[in-house]
């Protein structure tokens, strides 16, 4: 009997100990706590730059160790975020950086050409590039491709021409900062003018990652592999007219510069419904808090249906804001300055790389990224897309236009911070406050 009393007494005490008055169920609730640890506040700035007179070490804070073996110091100075990456990096992405300086160069009388394609960056499946130089008067011989060709003039002046499948003709001039576009299969020519002493240099981008400059359809190469009797029959002239056609391709070769007056170079006046060149150099840039940008796509350059671009400048300390492109792969070319970029590929994978003038980056669709100016001069780069239409999604704008309680629940931000987010895309932001 006594044992049962003791049991009942114990149960009563336990019941009273765990009972909570209904009126205090809200006011006494503990504060919410994260289900995962808070992100680290460890600094992750680049630890050096390419101009410093140091021996780089694979050390960041308490992590890493010195290098005991041989070092390629110039390359490590250019790539601090590879040797000593930010602690926010995780996983392993395919290489998304390629310097044109590592591309094999094809030297010709009158110029040169070097390329980047999927053989150099396996991640770059949808776009490839060529950097080409022509001396004054030099010609990139008449040719065509299986892929669409987009071009940006780095320096100098050029004359281009094309003929459409309907027999319409276009001849145009382009200068530094201008662009052109030829659809796949359209025959065309490129020649440097004599309006600048050094000729011209330009960037070509093709709408296929497997494009090869060595697989171009060339006028001279074709005729060198057709019996002369057939050539004479085709053109309905005497076979002797072809006594001096080249026995192999010319590719790039010297010639007399085109006349200054473009009309005197035309067989007939231009009669294409749309121009194949666009004077992007004459477009006023849109100013942003940390720089500026120009966008040229089919809304302003209708013929360029498979490639579009944004030309971006970022002032010292500024950054192309955190963003992504929904469906468009991005081929980035750095014109001047120094930068770093972290690419986020989902699944806790993110890598950071550093870039100099002449480097290429490739970002697949929907990969989150930024481009930060890490140098002491203005950063200029081209964002080039496998699309006729430019689109991007700003992280800041997305959060600013999302119900604040959702943002607060995800990131633990206060109301004032969320309210300060810009509801308009900034595109390029300035230094941190």
Residues annotated catalytic, as ranges? 383
C-alpha to C-alpha distance for 268 and 277, rounded to whole angstroms: 18
Question: Concatenated DSSP letters for 54-77?
Answer: S---EEETTEEE---S---HHHHH
Q: How does DSSP classify residue 310?
A: E
In a 3-state reduction of DSSP, which class is residue 400? helix
The tokens for 270 are 């231009």
Q: Which residue in 330, 364, 328 sits closest to 346, CA to CA?
A: 364
DSSP tag of 198: T
Helix (H) or strand (E) holding 419: helix 415-420
- d(C-alpha 269, C-alpha 285), whole Å: 32
Residue 148 · residue 183 · CB < 8 Å:
yes
CA-wise closest residue to 356 among 74, 54, 47: 74
Cβ partners under 8 Å of residue 330, min gap 6: 361, 362, 363, 383, 384, 385
Q: Which residues contact 258 (CB under 8 A, 6 or more apart)?
A: 159, 191, 193, 265
- The C-alpha atoms of residue 13 and residue 372 are separated, in whole angstroms, by 64
Cα four-point dihedral sign 282, 286, 292, 295: negative
Among 272, 343, 276, 262, CA closest to 305: 276
Q: 């991005």: which residue's tokens?
A: 330
Asked if residue 211 lies in contact with residue 129, where contact means CB atoms within 8 angstroms, the answer is no
CA-CA-CA-CA torsion sign (321, 365, 89, 70):
negative
């Amino acid at each position: 009997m006594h044992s049962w009393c003791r049991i009942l007494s114990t149960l009563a005490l336990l019941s009273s100990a765990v009972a909570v008055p209904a009126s205090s169920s809200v006011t006494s609730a503990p504060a919410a706590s994260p289900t995962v640890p808070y992100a680290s506040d460890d600094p992750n700035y680049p630890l050096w730059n390419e101009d410093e007179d140091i021996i780089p070490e694979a050390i960041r804070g308490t992590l890493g160790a010195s290098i005991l073996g041989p070092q390629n110091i110039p390359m490590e100075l250019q790539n601090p975020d590879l040797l000593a990456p930010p602690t926010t990096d995780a996983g392993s992405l395919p290489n998304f950086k390629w310097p044109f300086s590592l591309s094999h160069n094809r030297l010709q009388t009158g110029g040169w050409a070097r390329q980047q394609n999927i053989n150099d960056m396996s991640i770059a499946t949808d776009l490839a590039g060529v950097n080409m130089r022509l001396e004054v008067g030099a010609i990139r011989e008449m040719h065509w491709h299986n892929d669409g060709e987009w071009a940006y003039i780095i320096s100098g002046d050029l004359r281009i021409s094309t003929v459409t499948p309907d027999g319409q003709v276009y001849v145009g001039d382009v200068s530094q900062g201008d662009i052109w576009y030829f659809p796949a299969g359209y025959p065309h020519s490129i020649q440097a003018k004599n309006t600048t002493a050094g000729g011209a240099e330009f960037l070509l981008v093709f709408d296929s990652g497997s494009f090869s400059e060595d697989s171009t359809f060339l006028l001279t190469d074709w005729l060198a592999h057709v019996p002369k009797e057939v050539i004479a029959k085709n053109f309905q002239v005497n076979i002797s007219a072809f006594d001096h056609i080249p026995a192999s391709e010319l590719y790039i070769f010297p010639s007399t510069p085109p006349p200054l007056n473009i009309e005197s170079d035309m067989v007939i006046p231009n009669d294409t419904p749309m121009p194949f060149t666009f004077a992007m150099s004459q477009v006023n840039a849109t100013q942003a808090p940390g720089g500026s940008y120009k966008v040229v796509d089919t809304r302003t350059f209708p013929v360029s249906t498979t490639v579009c671009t944004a030309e971006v400048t970022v002032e010292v300390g500024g950054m192309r804001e955190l963003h992504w492109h929904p469906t468009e792969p991005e081929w980035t070319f750095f014109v001047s300055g120094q930068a770093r970029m972290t690419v986020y590929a989902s699944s806790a994978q993110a890598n950071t790389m550093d870039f100099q003038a002449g480097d290429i980056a490739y970002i697949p669709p929907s990969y989150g990224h930024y481009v930060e100016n890490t140098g002491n001069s203005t950063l200029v780069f081209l964002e080039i897309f496998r699309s006729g239409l430019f689109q991007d999604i700003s992280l800041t704008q997305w959060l600013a236009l999302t119900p604040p309680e959702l943002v607060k629940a995800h990131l633990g931000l206060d109301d004032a911070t969320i309210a300060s987010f810009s509801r308009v895309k900034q595109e390029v932001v300035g230094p941190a406050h």
